């Protein structure tokens, strides 16, 4: 793609990640992507950056200053959200990411994710509508009937319908086992859905003709817990056989949440009162299907977090190159010229740390997308399984680690701006508030950590974990045959990797789940740092022959991460290794004042 200046995501970096590192052009050799060329990728990437800058970034502040208004009946959003989404769909970008079978462009996921990241960087809250709609459509493509696909997915691809995911309830946020919404089978094979759903992003609006809610509910004879949940399509307007809109369904908006940021994404409380729903797949398999959407949303959230942090970093880097303040500590002449603040080591550290988090997070996201593409084109069943396992274990890391550390980049961007960063004259304060949602929604970072350590590390006798460590080991093996610099990094990574494996085995030997996951949050930090260190070694190797400033910047950032960040992972693994039971044996009364 064209290397134009941007405060969203560096196009030079996207070029590097897609072509120099991940070699996505190679995907076009496969039947699945043979209808495409690199030129197609580049044109679309250029279009996306342009549209993101012109249409999405331009109303980001306005969305923040004018949150959605609920008048008791409907929601009013600023018109720019609808206008920009209309252009987004009309330009064919949304459809480009969907399969050929539903009139999409079947772009590789890796390329689409990079394309979409520009929109997330420009305006995370407007981008949330197509992000959720795509995940909704992909769930139905995987688990819906042909009729459901034709009735609901095709209009989602065209932008006529948007989609939501309706899991949480006022008393069941992280705890889906306690979902209470009821589904009663009717004589026509539809179900009557009754209950309340909370925290539903895009739950009501006039941005699209219709909204396809995917709702977790419980049939009367279902068993308790998550194994008694079924999944239903509950459209805002019923859809006639010919695709035209029928009557209004029994879904009503009862309130909206007033958020600290991310304000353009209306977040709603919905009441389902005798609403008509249509079962997806089989009864009692709802959560399993929903995970298809949830995993995609988690990846979307992790990528979005990196994108928002990335934009914040670029703004800080720009400010630091133009703001003159102070002199070298060794310069004692107070009349000597001022330095740009990016010459001060404290500012450099904040910029390097931020760069390592956001570029690392984005790179991990594109790597995971490449795994998906490779899985889709693979003709080797075993390889396909391994790629699936790798994706499984990387998902909670991408969601949890990236949303946590990208927020640190947002924080540093404020600090680099000094007092100005705390004012609304600059965008970095909004981006910090926006990005604060990402460690919460689609499963908090605590939930991701439990998913990772309680499930993913252990699944299939550790197969996913082993696949991950095999991949990391392969990179290490490649690196030791390269430069001295690469070898140093590889040696450091090898040590921490060995320690990670040992600690993982030790934790896995615990009998009780409560003991295994008591320090899951710390394990998640540690494995996240190891994975990002691996991704930085990959980037170091891919940039090693580049003699320009860009190559230098990649290598310096890798070195920053290994010098200042990776040692923390060793400490955290040591703490884990000691198997403290402090958190388990506490009396909760100590938290009462």
Residue 571 CB partners (closer than 8 Å, separation 6+): none
**What is the footprint of a copy of itself within residues 517-546 (CB under 8 A)?**
517-522
- Beta-carbon contacts of 38 under 8 Å, excluding residues fewer than 6 positions away, are 19, 25, 28
Q: Are strands 182-185 and 191-201 parallel, antiparallel or unpaired?
A: antiparallel
Closer Cβ to a copy of itself, 370 or 417, answer by number: 417
Quick one: which of 342, 427, 469, 539 contacts a copy of itself (CB under 8 A)?
342
Q: How far out from the chain centre does Cα 498 lie?
A: 28
Q: Cite the DSSP H helix spans in 483-548.
A: 484-508, 513-516, 520-543
Q: Does 330 bind a copy of itself (CB under 8 A)?
A: yes
Footprint of a copy of itself on 218-237 (CB under 8 A): 223-226
Q: How far is the CB of 54 from a copy of itself (least distance, A)?
A: 18
Shortest CB 151 distance to a copy of itself, Å: 31
Paired tokens of 201: 């992003």
Per DSSP bridges, beta strands 161-166 and 182-185 are unpaired
Answer yes or no: are the C-beta atoms of 330 and 153 closer than 8 Å. Answer: no
Closer by beta carbon to a copy of itself, 249 or else 438? 438
From the list 156-164, 317-325, 387-395, 532-540, the region that binds a copy of itself by CB under 8 A is 317-325
H-helix or E-strand containing 24? none
User: Among 205, 218, 236, 441, which residue interacts with a copy of itself (rule: CB under 8 A)?
Assistant: 441
- Figure out which of the listed residues 450, 468, 490, 507 binds a copy of itself, where binding follows CB under 8 A: 450
Q: Which of 55, 442, 467, 538 is catalytic?
A: 442
φ/ψ of 329, rounded to 5, equals -55, -25
Please report how many Cα atoms fall inside a 13 Å half-sphere around the Cα of residue 109, on the Cβ side.
21
If one asks whether residue 270 binds a copy of itself (CB under 8 A), the answer comes out as no
DSSP 189-207: S-EEEEEEEEEEET-S-SS
Shortest distance, CB of residue 261 to a copy of itself, whole angstroms?
A: 8
Q: According to the binding rule CB under 8 A, does residue 446 interact with a copy of itself?
A: yes
Distance CA 302, CA 319 (A): 26
Binder to a copy of itself among 169, 445, 451, 538 (CB under 8 A)? 445
- Please report how close the Cβ of residue 128 comes to a copy of itself at its closest, in angstroms: 14
Q: Which two tokens stand for residue 451?
A: 């998913």
For residue 315, give the nearest of 234, 186, 427 by alpha carbon: 427
Q: Is 443 helix (H, G, I), strand (E, B) or coil?
A: coil
Contacts of 29 (CB under 8 A, 6+ apart): none
Binding of a copy of itself at residue 244 (CB under 8 A)?
Answer: no
Stretch touching a copy of itself by CB under 8 A, among 128-136, 290-298, 322-330, 530-538: 322-330
Give the span between the Cα atoms of 173 and 159, in whole angstroms.
29
Under the binding rule (CB under 8 A), the answer on residue 6 touching a copy of itself is yes
Per rule CB under 8 A, is residue 580 in the interface with a copy of itself? yes
Considering just the CA atoms, what is the radius of gyration of the chain in Å? 24
Give the one residue of 2, 349, 474, 495 binding a copy of itself; rule: CB under 8 A.
349
Distance CA 223, CA 159 (A): 37
Which letter does DSSP use for residue 401 in this model? Answer: H
101 binds a copy of itself (CB under 8 A): no
Q: Which residues, 185 to 214, sit near a copy of itself by CB under 8 A?
A: 198-199
Q: What is the size of the binding site for a copy of itself (CB under 8 A)? A: 113
Residue 454 as a binder of a copy of itself (CB under 8 A): the answer is yes
Residues 249-268 that bind a copy of itself (CB under 8 A): 257-261
Residue 442 bears catalytic tag: yes
Could you please report the per-residue DSSP string of 139-185?
HHHHHS-HHHIIIIIHHHHHTSEEEEEE--BTTBSS-GGG---EEEE
Site for a copy of itself in 40-59 (CB under 8 A): none
560 binds a copy of itself (CB under 8 A): yes
Angle formed at CA 394 by CA 202 and CA 130, multiple of 5 degrees: 20
Q: Which of 292, 355, 370, 458 binds a copy of itself (CB under 8 A)?
A: 355
Q: Which of 76, 274, 509, 514 binds a copy of itself (CB under 8 A)?
A: 514
Interface with a copy of itself by CB under 8 A: which range of 121-129, 240-248, 414-422, 532-540?
Answer: 414-422
Contact range with a copy of itself by CB under 8 A, out of 43-51, 69-77, 83-91, 427-435: 427-435
Options 170-178, 235-243, 392-400, 491-499: segment touching a copy of itself (CB under 8 A): 170-178
């Amino acid at each position: 793609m064209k290397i134009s200046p941007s405060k969203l995501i560096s196009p030079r970096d996207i070029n590097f990640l897609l072509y120099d590192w991940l070699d996505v052009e190679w995907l076009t050799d496969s039947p699945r992507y043979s209808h495409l060329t690199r030129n197609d990728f580049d044109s679309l990437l250029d279009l996306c950056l342009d549209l993101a800058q012109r249409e999405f970034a331009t109303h980001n502040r306005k969305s923040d200053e004018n949150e959605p208004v609920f008048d008791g009946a409907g929601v009013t959003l600023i018109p720019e959200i609808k206008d920009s989404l209309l252009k987004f769909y009309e330009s064919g970008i949304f459809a480009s990411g969907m399969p050929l079978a539903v009139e999409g462009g079947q772009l590789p996921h890796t390329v689409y994710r990079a394309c979409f990241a520009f929109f997330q960087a420009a305006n995370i809250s407007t981008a949330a509508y197509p992000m959720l709609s795509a995940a909704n459509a992909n769930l139905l493509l995987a688990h819906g009937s042909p009729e459901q696909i034709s009735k609901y997915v095709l209009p989602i691809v065209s932008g006529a319908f948007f989609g939501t995911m309706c899991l949480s309830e006022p008393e069941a946020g992280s705890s889906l086992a306690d979902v209470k919404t009821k589904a009663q089978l009717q004589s026509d094979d539809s179900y009557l859905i009754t209950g309340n759903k909370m925290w539903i992003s895009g739950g009501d609006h006039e941005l699209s003709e219709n909204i396809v809610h995917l709702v977790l509910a419980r049939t009367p004879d279902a068993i308790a817990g998550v194994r008694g949940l079924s999944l239903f399509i509950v459209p805002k307007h019923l859809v006639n056989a010919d695709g035209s809109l029928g009557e209004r369904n029994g879904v009503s908006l009862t309130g909206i949440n007033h958020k600290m940021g991310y304000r353009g994404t209306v977040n709603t409380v919905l009441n389902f009162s005798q609403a008509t729903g249509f079962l997806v797949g089989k009864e009692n398999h709802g959560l399993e299907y929903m995970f298809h959407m949830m995993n995609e949303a988690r990846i979307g959230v992790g990528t979005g977090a990196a994108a928002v942090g990335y934009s914040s970093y670029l703004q800080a880097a720009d400010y630091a190159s133009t703001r003159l303040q102070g002199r070298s500590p060794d310069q004692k002449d107070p009349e000597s010229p001022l330095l740009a603040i990016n010459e001060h080591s404290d500012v450099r550290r904040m910029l390097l740390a931020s760069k390592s988090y956001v570029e690392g997070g984005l790179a991990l996201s594109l790597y995971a997308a490449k795994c998906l593409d490779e899985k889709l084109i693979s003709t080797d069943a075993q390889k396909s399984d391994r790629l699936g396992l790798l994706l499984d274990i990387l998902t909670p890391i991408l969601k949890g680690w990236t949303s946590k550390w990208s927020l640190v980049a947002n924080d540093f961007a404020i600090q680099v701006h000094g007092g100005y960063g705390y004012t609304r004259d600059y965008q970095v304060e909004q981006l910090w508030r926006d990005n604060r949602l990402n460690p919460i929604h689609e499963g908090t970072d605590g939930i991701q950590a439990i998913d990772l350590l309680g499930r993913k590390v252990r699944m299939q006798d550790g197969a996913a974990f082993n696949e991950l460590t095999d991949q990391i080991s392969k990179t290490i093996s490649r690196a030791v045959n390269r430069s001295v610099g690469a070898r140093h990094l590889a040696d450091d990574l090898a040590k921490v990797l060995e320690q990670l494996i040992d600690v993982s085995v030790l934790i896995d030997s615990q009998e009780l789940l409560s003991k295994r996951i008591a320090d899951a949050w710390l394990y998640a930090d540690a494995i996240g740092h190891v994975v990002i260190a691996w991704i930085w070694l990959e980037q170091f190797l891919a940039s090693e022959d580049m003699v320009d400033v860009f190559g230098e910047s990649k290598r310096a950032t890798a070195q920053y991460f290994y010098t200042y960040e990776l040692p923390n992972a060793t400490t955290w693994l040591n703490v884990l290794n000691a198997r403290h039971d402090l958190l388990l044996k506490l009396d909760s009364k100590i938290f009462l004042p």
